[in-house]
Structure 1
Amino acid sequence: MTPPFTLTPPQGRTKGEVKRLRLAGFIPVSIQHKGMDTQHYQVEAAPLQEFLKQHGHTALVELLIMPGEIRQRGIVQGLQRDAISLKIQQLTLQLVRIEDTLKTQVPISFVGKPAMLNPNEAMVIHQADHLLIECAQNDLPEYILVDVTHLVPGGVIHVSDLAPDARYKILTPSHTSLVSLTRTRGGGSTADATEAAATA
């Protein structure tokens, strides 16, 4: 388990103080939860940025809130980046408690290679990169696998084609296209490709 990120009371409130805070390697953090006033803290920037780079913005973030050493979990609700360096400038976290049900975007990981894929005839087109799901916090997947092995030219995989998983419910509309194998100029028809495969 990743060590918790320590949130401490903010040392900067004015624009100048916040700028000095960032130069010192910290960023402002706001935490929110239904029925709770927004609370403000600061956190060391570099370790958090590395964590989000490795695990993505949908990962649960372990928190140690000071003073009091209160253990909590959160998920990224919003962030602001510097337009040039792309470093995180400010972060908003939604607290996640044991009784909470999460609704969040989870990245799609496409696996496999279509058996009929010929670069001169067809190409794989990713039409979505995240799915909206609902789950308990302990069942939050890091990503959802989509196997494209059986795609044929002209074929499309929709949300409705994914196998159900007891750990989460997909909220993205079932008709949403996720990936397709699109015929390129000069490529044969789906029927031609199927016939060629059958006689190979």
Structure 2
Amino acid sequence: MSEHTISATGREAAGKGASRRLRRAGQIPAIIYGGHAEPTSVQLDHEKIWLASQNEWFYSSILTLDVDGKAEKVLLRDMQRHPFKQLILHLDFLRVSENEAIRVNVPLHFLNQDTSPAGKTSGVVITHNCNEIGISCLPKDLPEFIELDLANLSPGDIVHLSDLKLPQGVEIPELKLGKEHDVAVVTAGYVQADAEPAAEGEGEGEK
């Protein structure tokens, strides 16, 4: 698990007016909550957070928020964006405890798809039904992503959640709910050609 540290500053002013002033100054209002402690209001540099938000790890890794010299281990739980501007409006971070399991959605990385038997077969479409999955683990075991090697994927194959190879200490809670929750992650199916239209008058009785 990679370490990612982000600087933040505590803030006291609250409300929409204070948040607007922060945004005009190039800052993002944010809150840290959970972890058996009181919520903490902070502000972060917009430019640095915008650059961080372009990376996959920002959404699925444990982050270290350095708040005025005090380190907080957190997960990003919510990000509010402007509907059309490249602007982050607000962030919610959840504190994590090293001894308590967390539930996180992590991305899937698909490997060797193009060189698989299915990938090299004409008329076969490989569909990714999931691009991320929900996992549960202790913070120290949290992977930034799960790899799925499709090197042996053949036409007609279906890869289910239960087929994923998970790192040690990581589990998929969904699988505990029954077989019907073992959904298809990847399918390799043949494209079905459209049926040819019936010839004009075919099947009609003679007059």
Both proteins in one fold, TM over 0.5: yes
Displacement of 1:90 in angstroms is 0.2
Whole-Å Cα distance in 2 between the matches of residues 93 and 61 of structure 1?
A: 9
1:13 aligns with 2:20: no
Displacement of 1:34 in angstroms is 4.0
- Give the unaligned 5+ runs of structure 1: 187-200
Paired amino acid for 1:52: S
Displacement of 1:127 in angstroms is 0.1
Partner of 1:139: 141
Cα displacement string for residues 47-92 of structure 1 (whole angstroms, at most 9, x for unaligned residues): 12222322241111111122xx211211011110110024221000
Closer, same or farther in 2 for the Cα pair 1:97/1:165, shift >3 Å?
same
What are the equivalent positions in structure 2 for 1:68-147 lying under 5 Å apart?
69-113=69-113, 114-118=116-120, 120-147=122-149
Partner of 2:34: 33
Displacement of 1:20 in angstroms is 2.2
Whole-Å Cα distance in 2 between the matches of residues 107 and 3 of structure 1?
A: 17
Partner of 2:24: 23
Deviates more, 1:91-100 or 1:122-131: 91-100
1:149 aligns with 2:156: no
Q: Contact 1:159/1:178 (CA < 8 Å) preserved in 2?
A: yes
Q: Contact 2:6/2:65 (CA < 8 Å) preserved in 1?
A: yes
Partner of 2:184: 177
Relative to total residues, which structure has the larger strand share, 1 or 2? Answer: 1
Partner of 1:191: none
Paired amino acid for 1:7: A
Q: Percent identity?
A: 21
DSSP 3-state at the match of 2:154: coil
DSSP 3-state at the match of 1:57: helix
Whole-Å Cα distance in 1 between the matches of residues 22 and 128 of structure 2?
A: 40
Partner of 1:53: 54
RMSD, aligned α-carbons: 2.2
1:165 aligns with 2:167: yes
Whole-Å Cα distance in 2 between the matches of residues 29 and 37 of structure 1?
A: 14
Closer, same or farther in 2 for the Cα pair 1:2/1:175, shift >3 Å?
closer
Paired amino acid for 2:171: K
Deviates more, 1:89-98 or 1:9-18: 9-18
- Give the unaligned 5+ runs of structure 2: 176-180, 194-207
Q: Contact 2:101/2:137 (CA < 8 Å) preserved in 1?
A: yes
**Residue-pair matches, total:** 185
